[in-house]
Amino acid sequence: MQPSSSALLALLALPFLGAAFAPLVYRVLGERTAYFAAAVAAASLALVASLFGTQGTVAVPWIPTYGVSLAFYVDGLALLIGTLASGVGVLVFTYSGGYMHGEPGQVKYYATLLAFMGSMLGVAFAADLIALFVFWELTSVSSFLLIGHYQDADASQYAARKSMLITVAGGLFMLVGFLLLHVVATGVPAVDSAFRLAGEGSILANADTMVGALRAQGLFVPVLLLVGVGAATKSAQVPFHIWLPNAMEAPTPVSAFLHSATMVKAGVYLVGRFRPLLLTDEWTLVFGILGLATMTITAILAVAASDIKELLAYSTASHLGLIVAGYGMSGYLGAETGAFHILNHALFKAALFLVAGIVAHEAGTRAIDELGGLASDLPLTAAVTTVAALGMAGVPPFNGFYSKEFLFHAVYYTAEHAVADGGSVLWWLLPAVAVFGSIFTFLYSIRFLMLFFGDKPDALGEVHAPPLAMTVPAVVLGGLALVVGLGGVAGTFGVHFTPLERFVGTVMESSLAHAGEGEHSFSYYLPTEVSPWLIMSAVTIGVGAVAYPFFDGIRDGVRAVRDVDYLRPNWYYDGTVAGLDRSSAIDVIQTGNLRTYALALSLALAALTLGAYAAAGVAVPGLAFAGLGPALVVVLAVAVVGAVAVAAAPSHIAGVLTLSIVGFMVAIFYILGSAPDLALTQLVIETLVLVIFLLVLDKLPAFYGTANRLRAARDAVVAGAVGLTVTVTVLLSTAAGPDDVIAQYFVENGGVPAEHGPIFADAGGGGNIVNVILVDFRAFDTLGEISVVAMAALSVITLIAMRERGEIQ
């Protein structure tokens, strides 16, 4: 069924409207703006819900000249991400009402969070490459603001900058990939609009022809890698995972929202979206390795974490790796893994983040070593944690178990088939690494759970009960995770949780390649017979349980390895950024002296212009003195004398005054050339500039000391080069004698037509053609110019009046 276009467009407009109105609402509601935002998210969720069961494209023209449109496509994957963004959004906004009590910058917080939700919905539904890229970068920008919410804290600034640099840089790689796709798609006749990603006549609808065309032009692997970099940076895949743990500087609701349900899911969404197009052996190799490496490395790092949010951050990266690895595997099993784990991970991870927020808020610390035995004070939270953490560990019958089984099945299947087809034995590394990484996942999940059990450290003071607004969202998420888990138990006995299974099935279909993956209806249940992948799960849990008593030893070992500089991507990141900051080139280029910049600009201008003339091989026309009356000669001679006097002026004041002689002579020149408008302008400007010059000169030293001969020679050369450039340009541009078409048009249409009605808009209707051009024919230019004037004034205000701000704060 075709989606309703009004519902879809309303869905994408609503969060942004909410963000725009947030400041006004805050004036009325104050801290209760959280509930306004939650209502906006709830309305979005309702709109997403109304789209369920539909599939198709809605397009609004955006830049028709280039075939770019605001096209949105509804299918299972888009609906899943949309549901997560708006649904978790409702809970996070409600939770914020409790968590953000008394925090600074709430207007900005809610407005940005709403805008973020809107951009995430945009990413989920966008079906146009350019629209997708725009929403994608919007999520980067809004998450930059959210991560840097505590603007004064250095750690926040560092984290926000880092996430911005990494995700935006990745986004640019992705853009290049998109443009390559577009270029190839324009050559494929079956693709109607070359920017359209999904839907009728789109790139994805013609996946096979597209792949053929990509391969023919040798662009398949570049596109795969470029899109892969975009997805990997956004989804915090190794080695770009480093921004995610720092991003935990944000307020906890933001972490829960960005890093469980949305922001990082954008990357895996991209992988899932492009899977039908790009799924090949190269795809499996790239994303299988990327995903499994991320899953394992970040799971190990999570074990070494000392802070509960840091643990969760690494764990997020690890689970994203699992999803990417799932999508990387061929066959429906891969798509199944990705689709189901996106849902499961969002449920248990969002719940755990909210739990982490409750713990930090009520116990006053996030350090793992200082926490323990919280269950007696926070019984409800402990119950939620049990469900969520066991799901994260992949323990049956909790939700994470099923999707992890799918992954084990998928990697086993892939390895088995690859080896059977004569592939290398190295393929067996895939399942081995998957199990190895999962053991660490099990370890840190149990460690998180144990915060609530065992002895309560004495140093931990009284733990308060959290407010209802904070508990309810966590319980809702934990409850949903439990329901998904129990659905599997029921499925074992033949009672299937049909709506959920059908939904995950549609999500899976969105990522299925068209050829060779077959029809498959999704269902999940506890395994009833022994299979290699069940043994893999058993090994994971068994080894994990045996190793857990040695957790502290393992952690210390991991920390020792982790802290080796050369193994830390952070070390490279910090080194690069710091290196850019203090590179020696900057000292030479950015001296802070105006004369250096003026020198570089003037020389560059002269070199580029003259170089272009030389390259184009233009002939400099000779000077034409015809029509030069005696009056003009006198005026110009005076101007030349004035110019010489400027160079020889003994002081600034004398220099400026003689400079104005040149200006006034030019004005007279205009009068003699019958251009009264120009002359008037020249005269008033000259007067005003003189006054401003005199005001500024008052501040400058009157005498700089004797001029260095070398420096004077250098300045003479620069001035000569600029003078030569301008002279040649004037000669060329006046001698070219352009066709009089445009001028003729202005003359014919500028005035009042001979026959005209009382009102007309097709002619200028003015006697002064210069002004008619300025305000009518070329009004757009004028608008640009006055904008520049206004900007100049703003710059003066910023540079002079506000210069003492900022640095002090």
Partner 1 sequence: MSLDRQPTVIARTVTRLVVPLILVTALALLFQGHNLPGGGFIAGVLTVTAFALVYVIFGLDYLEAELLDRNPGTRYETESGIIREYGTVFAVGLAVAVGSGIAAIALGYPFLTQAVAFVEPLPIYHELEVASALVFDLGVYAVVVGALLTILAEVGSE
In the complex with partner 1, the residue whose CB is nearer, 712 or 790, is 790
Nearest CA-CA partner of 399 in 319, 293, 280: 319
SS3 105: coil
For the bound state, the minimum distance from the C-beta of residue 646 to partner 1, rounded and expressed in Å, comes to 22
Beta bridge partners of 68: 63
| CB 411 within 8 Å of CB 325 | yes
Nearest CA-CA partner of 500 in 517, 520, 484: 484
The Cα–Cα gap between 89 and 37 comes to 9
For the bound state, the minimum distance from the C-beta of residue 16 to partner 1, rounded and expressed in Å, comes to 21
What DSSP state is assigned to residue 767? S
For the bound state, the minimum distance from the C-beta of residue 674 to partner 1, rounded and expressed in Å, comes to 11
For the bound state, the minimum distance from the C-beta of residue 701 to partner 1, rounded and expressed in Å, comes to 15
For the bound state, the minimum distance from the C-beta of residue 772 to partner 1, rounded and expressed in Å, comes to 7
In the complex with partner 1, the residue whose CB is nearer, 564 or 801, is 801
| CB 118 within 8 Å of CB 82 | no
In the complex with partner 1, the residue whose CB is nearer, 376 or 651, is 651
Q: Which residues have a Cβ under 8 Å from the Cβ of 664 and sit 6 or more positions away?
A: 683, 686
In the complex with partner 1, the residue whose CB is nearer, 492 or 660, is 660
Hey, what are 13's tokens? Answer: 């407009």
In the complex with partner 1, the residue whose CB is nearer, 30 or 767, is 767
SS3 58: strand
Q: Which residues have a Cβ under 8 Å from the Cβ of 41 and sit 6 or more positions away?
A: 15, 86, 87, 89, 90, 92, 93, 114, 117
Hey, what are 312's tokens? Answer: 């969760």
In the complex with partner 1, the residue whose CB is nearer, 30 or 753, is 753
Beta bridge partners of 128: 196
**Amino acid letter, residue 512:** L
**Amino acid letter, residue 729:** T
In the complex with partner 1, the residue whose CB is nearer, 608 or 796, is 796
Nearest CA-CA partner of 568 in 577, 580, 559, 556: 559
In the complex with partner 1, the residue whose CB is nearer, 582 or 803, is 803
For the bound state, the minimum distance from the C-beta of residue 579 to partner 1, rounded and expressed in Å, comes to 38
* Residue 602 burial class via C-beta count within 10 angstroms: exposed 0-12, middle 13-18, buried 19 and up: middle
What DSSP state is assigned to residue 250? S
In the complex with partner 1, the residue whose CB is nearer, 634 or 792, is 792
Binding footprint of partner 1 on the chain (CB under 8 A): 676-677, 680-681, 684-685, 687-688, 691-692, 694-696, 698-699, 752, 756, 758-761, 763-768, 770-772, 774-776, 779-780, 782-783, 786-787, 789-790, 792-794, 796-797, 800-802
In the complex with partner 1, the residue whose CB is nearer, 421 or 807, is 807
Question: Furthest-apart CA pair in the chain: how many Å?
Answer: 109
SS3 421: coil
| CB 268 within 8 Å of CB 235 | yes
Hey, what are 504's tokens? Answer: 């995950």
The Cα–Cα gap between 111 and 108 comes to 5
For the bound state, the minimum distance from the C-beta of residue 671 to partner 1, rounded and expressed in Å, comes to 11
How far does CA 362 lie from the centroid of its chain?
34
For the bound state, the minimum distance from the C-beta of residue 376 to partner 1, rounded and expressed in Å, comes to 54
For the bound state, the minimum distance from the C-beta of residue 698 to partner 1, rounded and expressed in Å, comes to 5
The Cα–Cα gap between 205 and 443 comes to 43
Nearest CA-CA partner of 297 in 236, 249, 367: 236
For the bound state, the minimum distance from the C-beta of residue 770 to partner 1, rounded and expressed in Å, comes to 8
For the bound state, the minimum distance from the C-beta of residue 781 to partner 1, rounded and expressed in Å, comes to 10
For the bound state, the minimum distance from the C-beta of residue 112 to partner 1, rounded and expressed in Å, comes to 25
In the complex with partner 1, the residue whose CB is nearer, 558 or 775, is 775
